Amino acid sequence: MIAIASIVEGDGEVRALPVLLRRLSDWLPASEYPQSLPPIRVRRDRFLNRDDEFRKQLLLAATKCGEQGWILVVLDADDDCPATLAAAIYRRAQQYVAHRKLSVVIANREFEAWFIAAAHSLDGYRGFRVPPVVVDAEVPRDAKGWLSDHIDGGAYRTVLDQAAFAATIDLQQAFDNSRSFRKLCKEWRTHVADRV
């Protein structure tokens, strides 16, 4: 068994990321059983800008996943370059958890961009309607707002909808249409699926 201790920034991700990781386990199976532990929720700015908080949360994740586990940090890029931000966080984190397997995945621009990438698989689900033209998944600055604009008679509600959408999206569509989702899959293969 490989224990996965994730660090996320929102209440929606606390529920949605374990769902997504369980689905990845079926889609990209491993020889060892992956156990997604309850994610550690952080405030993004505080986590990134206060070294004591950064260190504390990483050491907590290291303790939770154990020697053979994997620490997975998943944050939104917002206006940052995902690759640059991920590399900077990874380098900083290595100071504290060099003894653990570690990945940093930055969703470009938000976690919900992965839903836009697989929008066709969500058509009709929870009131969502695919528009005639779907934008490039990683372009909208407000992916949550884009989803809300396409939900009949309602709005996208992070805490209620995020886990449900994560349980429903077509993973191949998300993979094909989102570079940051491909990064998540690459890290999954490295630390779980292709692990010897």
For the chain, how many structural domains are there in total? 1
Query: In this predicted structure, what is the pLDDT of residue 153?
Result: 83
The angle subtended at Cα 39 by Cα 31 and Cα 85, nearest 5°, is 95
Alpha-carbon distance 138 to 111, whole Å?
A: 10
Domain range for 74: 2-193
Q: Positive or negative CA dihedral for 188, 22, 64, 83?
A: positive
The percent of residues in the chain predicted with pLDDT above 70, rounded, is 99
Q: What is the pTM of this model?
A: 0.95
> For residue range 7-28, what is the model confidence (pLDDT) as tens digits?
999 999 999 999 999 999 999 9
Q: Residue with structure tokens 């010897």?
A: 196
Give the residue ranges of DSSP H helices in 9-100. 11-27, 44-49, 51-65, 82-97
